[in-house]
Structure 1
Amino acid sequence: MQLFHARPCRGILRTCAALLIGAAAIFAAHAQKSYDTGATDTTIKIGHLVPYSGPVSAYGTIGKSAGAWFDKVNAEGGINGRKVQFISLDDAYTPSKTVEQARKLVEQDEVLLLFGTLGTAHNMAIRRYMNARKVPQLFVASGATRFGDPKDFPWTMGWQPTYQTEGLIYAEHILKTRPDAKIAILMQNDDFGKDFLKGFLDGLGDKARRMVVAQSTYEVTDPTIDSQMVNLKASGADTFFNISTPKFAAQAIRKAADIGWKPTQYLSSVSMSVSAVIKPAGYENAQGVISATYLRDPADERWKNTRELEDYKAFMARYYPGGDVMDSNNVLGYSSAQTLEHVLRQAGDNLTRENIMKIAANLSLTLPMLYPGIDVKTSANDFYPIERMQLLRFAGTRFEPVGPVMGR
Structure 2
Amino acid sequence: MSAFQYRPAVLSVTIVILATTNTGALAQKKYDTGATDTEIKIGNIMPYSGPSSAYGVIGKTEAAYFKKINAEGGINSRQIKFISYDDANSPPKTVEQARKLIESDEVLLILNPLGTASNSAIQKYMNEKKVPQLFVSTGATKWNNPKQFPWTMGWQPNYQSEGRIYAKYILKERPTGKIGILYQNDDYGKDYVKGIRDGLGAKADSMIIGEKSYETTNPTIDSQVVALKSQGADIFISITSPKFAAQSIKKVVELGWRPLFLLNGVAASTGTVMRLAGLENSQNIISATYAKDPTDPQWKDDPGIKNFDAFLSKYFPEGNPEDQFVMTGYNLAQTLVYVLKNCGDDLTRANIMKQAAGIKSLQLEGLLPGITITTSATDFAPIKNFQLRKFKGERWELFGDVISSEVDE
Distance 1:232 1:356, change over 3 A: same
Which amino acid is 2:85 matched to? L
Which amino acid is 1:180 matched to? T
Instruction: Provide the residue aligned with 1:4 in structure 2.
Output: none
Q: Does 1:351 align with 2:347?
A: yes
Conserved 8 A contact 1:298-1:327:
no
Q: Does 1:11 align with 2:5?
A: yes
1:17, CA displacement in angstroms?
2.7
Distance in 2 (CA, whole Å) between partners of 1:318 and 1:204 is 47
1:310, CA displacement in angstroms?
1.7
Distance in 2 (CA, whole Å) between partners of 1:375 and 1:312 is 18
Candidates 32, 43, 64, aligned match of 2:60: 64
Distance in 2 (CA, whole Å) between partners of 1:212 and 1:16 is 82
Instruction: Provide the residue aligned with 1:265 in structure 2.
Output: 261
Secondary structure of the residue aligned to 2:388 is: strand
Instruction: Provide the residue aligned with 1:42 in structure 2.
Output: 38
Candidates 353, 366, 373, aligned match of 1:369: 366
Q: Does 1:126 align with 2:131?
A: no
- Output the TM-score relative to the length of structure 1: 0.96
1:146-161 equivalences under 5 Å are 146-161=142-157
Instruction: Provide the residue aligned with 2:302 in structure 1.
Output: 306
Distance in 2 (CA, whole Å) between partners of 1:389 and 1:116 is 20
Instruction: Provide the residue aligned with 1:77 in structure 2.
Output: 73
Instruction: Provide the residue aligned with 1:406 in structure 2.
Output: 403
- Output the TM-score relative to the length of structure 2: 0.95
Count of aligned positions: 402
Distance in 2 (CA, whole Å) between partners of 1:137 and 1:288 is 37
Which amino acid is 1:16 matched to? V
Q: Does 1:233 align with 2:229?
A: yes
Distance in 2 (CA, whole Å) between partners of 1:363 and 1:69 is 21
Q: Higher mean Cα deviation, 360-369 or 15-24?
A: 15-24
Conserved 8 A contact 1:275-1:326:
yes
Deviations 1:273-318 (A, max 9, x none): 0110001111111111000000001221211232222211111111
Deviations 1:88-118 (A, max 9, x none): 1101100000000001001110011010100
Q: Does 1:388 align with 2:385?
A: yes
Deviations 1:197-255 (A, max 9, x none): 11111111111000000010111111111111111110100000100000000000000
Deviations 1:106-138 (A, max 9, x none): 111001101010000110100111111111110
Conserved 8 A contact 1:295-1:370:
yes
Instruction: Provide the residue aligned with 1:334 in structure 2.
Output: 330
Which amino acid is 2:317 matched to? P
1:28, CA displacement in angstroms?
7.1
Instruction: Provide the residue aligned with 1:167 in structure 2.
Output: 163
- Once the two structures are aligned, what percentage of the paired residues are identical? 54
Deviations 1:162-217 (A, max 9, x none): 00110011011111111111000000011100111111111111110000000101
1:373, CA displacement in angstroms?
1.0
Which amino acid is 2:105 matched to? D
Secondary structure of the residue aligned to 1:224 is: coil
Runs of 4+ in 1 over 4 A off after TM superposition: 22-31
Distance in 1 (CA, whole Å) between partners of 2:367 and 2:16 is 48
Distance in 2 (CA, whole Å) between partners of 1:237 and 1:299 is 33
Q: Does 1:198 align with 2:194?
A: yes
Structure with bigger gyration radius: 1
Distance in 1 (CA, whole Å) between partners of 2:104 and 2:62 is 22
Distance in 2 (CA, whole Å) between partners of 1:67 and 1:209 is 46
